Every structure is written in structure tokens, then in C-alpha cells.
Amino acid sequence: MKNLTYIMAVALASTSLGVPLMAQTPAMPCVVVSVKDPNSKNSMSRPQFSATRVLDLVVSAHLTSLVKTAPVLMDVKFLTPKGNVYQTRKLPVAPEGKPGREVAVPGYPYPVAERVLKAPDANVTGKPWAQVEDILPVAGTDIVKNSLYGKWQVEVSFPMEKTECRGTAEFTVVQ
């Protein structure tokens, strides 16, 4: 009973002082993911792509300042329309420098080309977040050979010290 009285007193005091008990603002994502055709003139093209018309798809991860501070690994996972893992990658990302530098990645037998954050792009997020890109080849791959048509999902995450920054996007591949 004593604990209940104490909790009620704190609740009453905080509301009478104008201090909310819980934050009402929604959490801002740390990464926003988009998928587009690199040859499309429309920067916000529909997330539906024809496997007979597109060679590759570009996956863009738009990042907040939480991730822009140090070299990190970007985990990219592509899921087929049936929910199976099509491909996973660990890509080194640096806040600055020249793209393409070969970097050793734990668990990979050969060095991997490093990605570098691009200048801020406000088209997708409405905020000046930096971005990093990856390519999903479509033409001549198992996507076409095995008719893996339908709604796909890409998950992008940045494992960090205390938490994990994660974003997803859906896109459709048609014949």
C-alpha cells in the first residue's frame, strides 16, 4: 500500500508540474531504406520493377548522425517473396574517403569494397541525411532464372555499441 501511495503521489506531482510521465513524440528512425531503378529519371520511382527491363536495383540507406561518426559494417539482407533469405552481405562503410578501398571483413575470405557515405540527400527522408548505396543485380541472376517474382523485402542494419539501427523496404519484382 505504501508503494502504491508513493507511485500515485509521483504521478500527481508530475502531471501538476506539467511533466509528462511518458514521452509522446514518436521515435525517429536512424535509417530509412529505399529501392530504385538506377536508370529511372524519377527519384521516387514506384517500388515495382520489371525483371526484363532492369539490370540492377539500387538500395539506398539514408542515415542519421548516429551512424555517420565512425566506420561501421552495414548488414544487408534480401528476402524473397516466400520469406527465404536470398542474399546477405556485410559491407564496410566509412564516413569519408574514396569508395572502393578493399577492407577485411570478419567471416569473409577476401577483402570487400568499402562504401563511403554520400552527401546528404533530402529527397526520401525530407531531412538532410547522408546515404550509402548497395546494388542488387537482377538480370541474369537466380531472380530471373527461378522466376522469383513477387514482393521482396530488404533489411538494412548497422550494429552499434549499445543498440542496432535497422530499416526495411519492400519492393516488387515482376516479369
Please give the full DSSP string across 88-109, using - where no structure is assigned: EEEEEEESSS-TT-EE--TT-S
Would you state the pLDDT for residue 83? 97
Model confidence at 12: pLDDT above 90: no
66-79 pLDDT tens trace: 555 566 889 999 99
Q: How far apart are CA 26 and CA 164, in angstroms?
A: 18
pLDDT tens for each residue of 77-129? 999 999 999 999 999 988 777 777 898 999 999 999 998 888 765 555 566 67
* For residue 31, pLDDT beyond 50: yes
Domain residue spans of the chain: 27-174
The pLDDT value given to residue 130: 80
Q: Cite the DSSP H helix spans in the chain.
A: 2-16, 142-145
Predicted confidence at residue 24, as pLDDT, reads 37
Question: Residue 111 has what pLDDT?
Answer: 95
For the domain 27-174, what is the CATH code? 2.60.40.2550
Say what the pTM is. 0.76
pLDDT digits (tens, 9 = 90+) for 33-53: 999 999 887 655 568 999 999
At residue 112, φ and ψ (nearest 5 deg) are -115, 140
Give first-to-last CA distance, the chain, whole Å. 66
pLDDT tens per residue, range 132-175: 899 999 999 999 999 999 999 999 998 776 777 899 999 999 99
Contact between residue 20 and residue 142 where contact means Cβ atoms under 8 Å apart: no
How high is the pLDDT of residue 68? 54
What's the CA gap between 114 and 91, in Å, rounded?
Answer: 7
